[in-house]
Chains A and B, each alone.
Chain A
Amino acid sequence: MSNSSLENGTKHRHKTSNSLSLQQQRVRAAFWFLAPMIVMLFCVAAWPLLRTIYFSFTDTSLTSLYEGEWVWFKNYLSYRELSSGRVIWRGTLADPAWWNAVWNTVRFSFVSVSIEAVLGILVALVLNAEFKGRGLVRAAILIPWAIPTIVSAKMWGWMLNDQFGIINDALLKIGLIDHKIAWTASIDTAMISVLIVDVWKTTPFMALLCLAGLQMIPKDVYEAAKVDGVHPVKVFFKVTLPLVRPALMVAVIFRILDALRIFDLIYVLTPNSKATKTMSIISRENLFEFDKFAYGSAQSTLLFAIIAIFVAAYIWLGKVDLGGKDER
């Protein structure tokens, strides 16, 4: 009895080790660990994306979501020759409102991310220095980032209000302006308002990522520079900046991704201003307000493509090391 069970045991062990090598067992374990996330990502990211791309090639409308017909590139670009011989171009790619939104988005992203990167580094350098109450300041500087965008947009909306806003009041009292400015409503200042609020809100995030990068730099390198007698400005440009660059590049990628799809801040702060309408704003309008669901889907798809191209180009041009291979 005991003999046979022993035999069974050995046989069983043999069987498992024969059927699955250690490597295969690892792969299988890895698969089971990854599976929940893959399923999740497919449900919340891949499926909506694929659906949107599909809709963009149909004439689906909000009222008949499942009855759309395949229309190829009609939502992107199509032309019709009139009997008079005139050619009319249609579709998103021929829509001036779309190109205005593209230009707004790119301009906003470029300016805001540039300012935030510079300010972020500066703030990070200050926070990296040793002084009393540093922990408190570090926590305090994060507050703008922690406030929900809707709240901060509303708050700034009131501060920038043309009649009762504190900013107009303060500028008038100092004497920098001689009449109240409709910051968020005026076409000339709407983009500036959005930029101010976005910089105020996201610089802390940038600073925090830069700070993490700064703290990776070994302290003794700075001491060596001190002994070498290198001027602090030169130390910054020749030592600090090259060493913090990997972290900075990753931070900038995050910010570009965020800035290119900006929606909430503008939706609350400057709704319907032509000067600040971005790709996200305009595609939402078409999707849900103008009942041009397929058209909006095409714009969403283009937005996705543009962001993908931007980020790919940035990673390629900046030789950003996302895998951490460059670490010492």
Chain B
Amino acid sequence: MANIELKNLHKSYGAVHVIKGIDLEIKSGEFMVFVGPSGCGKSTLLRLISGLEAISDGELLFDGEVVNNVIPSKRGIAMVFQSYALYPHMTVYDNMAFGLKLAKTTKQEMKERVLNAARMLQIEDLLERLPKQLSGGQRQRVAIGRAIVRDPKVFLFDEPLSNLDAALRVATRLEIAKLHHDMQDTTMVYVTHDQVEAMTLADRICVLRDGIVEQVGTPSELYESPASIFVAGFIGSPKMNFLTGKFADEFNCDTLGIRPEHIEIVDEDNSDKLWTGKVIHAEDLGSDNYLYLEIGADEPLVVRQAGKLKIANGTKVNLRPQNANLHKFNQQGKPAL
């Protein structure tokens, strides 16, 4: 159980200002995901919370207590690193028990805790192996197991899935979701650049950009009412379409955003039709079709069509955006009133 508060947090490396004043509250037991493009400061922010990096300015509170100058091991945290960070010369068991040996745990208790964690992650058969004898997915499980064994108040994940292949990534993602379900008292902070991971795992997402918070909210809040063009473009796949010029003028805004799944193809004689476009490319993903349409805007308009609808390149189609799902932005990239 730990409530984490960030108050006007800053981090600079020499003249480089990386974290530029972040205010955020992570509630006890919450799964918070930091997401953003590379270089946005999300990993740095996690390392500030872990204590591996010193805070330049501002306050970090755990349960109302300032922990700015508390060393990592005294913060009640456990961390899972992108590159696993296993001790290469120790067996899986020793890797998981190494941190416990210092915490004055009895041998029996230590063994129980390691075995429990191993059972949770189904790595009981691997306890005697060395990290180099494990696959990437197994190594990451051991790293997660090592964190579980510490019974932390706060669980920190630094891009734990980036080094895994696509299939394993989905499987391990599920594992982490289950972990959150099983450890409801543990606050989890998770860093990723992958918005799908963020959407699927998070209770709340914090979108970062250039060291400041763009928006904090539940996945559906971010999807349905993004607070800026940046968030609108970052959350959702395929990316939201942004139209400017005459397309936006019709809706009295500077930029009009519409997600590919919110555009319908309508008949020629439908009075609601709005845009006409030519198919220039189609991607068939099996369950969905992504159509790239030339409608006279700067970039092709992407339309997501469920099912097996086959439309040949060069075909002219009529389009109608769903009015309820339009996102209007002003010149500053903020939602237009």
Contact = CB atoms under 8 A, between A and B. Distances in A.
B102 A227 contact: no
B99 interface: yes
Contacts of B77: 227
B78 A227 contact: yes
B102 to A, nearest CB: 6
Interface string A213-239: 000001011011111111100100011
B258 to A, nearest CB: 42
Contacts of B72: 226-227, 229
A224 B102 contact: no
Interface in B63-95: 71-74, 77-79, 81-89
Contacts of A231: 102
A242 B102 CA distance: 19
B102 A228 contact: yes
A45 B85 CA distance: 45
Given A229-B72, A229-B73, A328-B132, A223 B102 contact: no
A243 interface: yes
A238 B82 CA distance: 23
Contact of A220 (B85, B98, B131, B150): B85
A261 to B, nearest CB: 33
Contacts of B103: 229
Interface in A296-328: 328
B50 A227 contact: yes
Given A227-B77, A227-B78, A220 B102 contact: no
A119 B95 CA distance: 30
A227 B78 CA distance: 7
A224 B73 contact: no
A227 B88 contact: no
Given A229-B99, A230-B98, A328-B132, A224 B89 contact: no
B52 interface: yes
A242 B83 contact: no
The number of chain B residues touching the other chain, given as a range, is 20 to 34
A225 B85 CA distance: 9
Majority-rule SS of A interface residues: helix
Nearest to B130: A328
Contacts of B79: 223-224, 227
B85 A234 contact: no
Given A220-B83, A223-B52, A229-B72, A243 B89 contact: yes
Contacts of A229: 71-74, 99, 102-103
Interface residues of A, number: 18
A95 B82 CA distance: 64
Contacts of A242: 89
Given A223-B81, A228-B99, A238-B98, A328 B88 contact: yes
A235 to B, nearest CB: 10
Contacts of A224: 79, 81, 85-87, 146
B89 A220 contact: no
Contacts of B50: 227
A230 B102 contact: yes
Interface string B126-161: 000001100000000000001000100000000000
| Of listed B52, B71, B82, residue having the most chain A CB within 10 A | B52
B73 A226 contact: yes
A228 B150 contact: yes
Contacts of A226: 52, 71-73
Contacts of B131: 328
A54 B103 CA distance: 66
A12 to B, nearest CB: 47
A319 to B, nearest CB: 13
Nearest to B80: A224
29 contacts: A220-B82, A220-B84, A220-B85, A221-B85, A221-B86, A221-B87, A221-B88, A223-B52, A223-B81, A224-B85, A224-B87, A224-B146, A225-B98, A226-B52, A226-B71, A227-B52, A227-B72, A227-B78, A227-B79, A228-B73, A228-B98, A228-B102, A228-B150, A229-B72, A229-B74, A229-B99, A229-B102, A229-B103, A328-B132
Given A218-B85, A328-B131, 17 more contacts: A221-B85, A221-B87, A221-B88, A223-B85, A224-B85, A226-B72, A227-B50, A227-B77, A227-B99, A228-B98, A228-B150, A229-B102, A229-B103, A230-B73, A230-B98, A242-B89, A243-B88
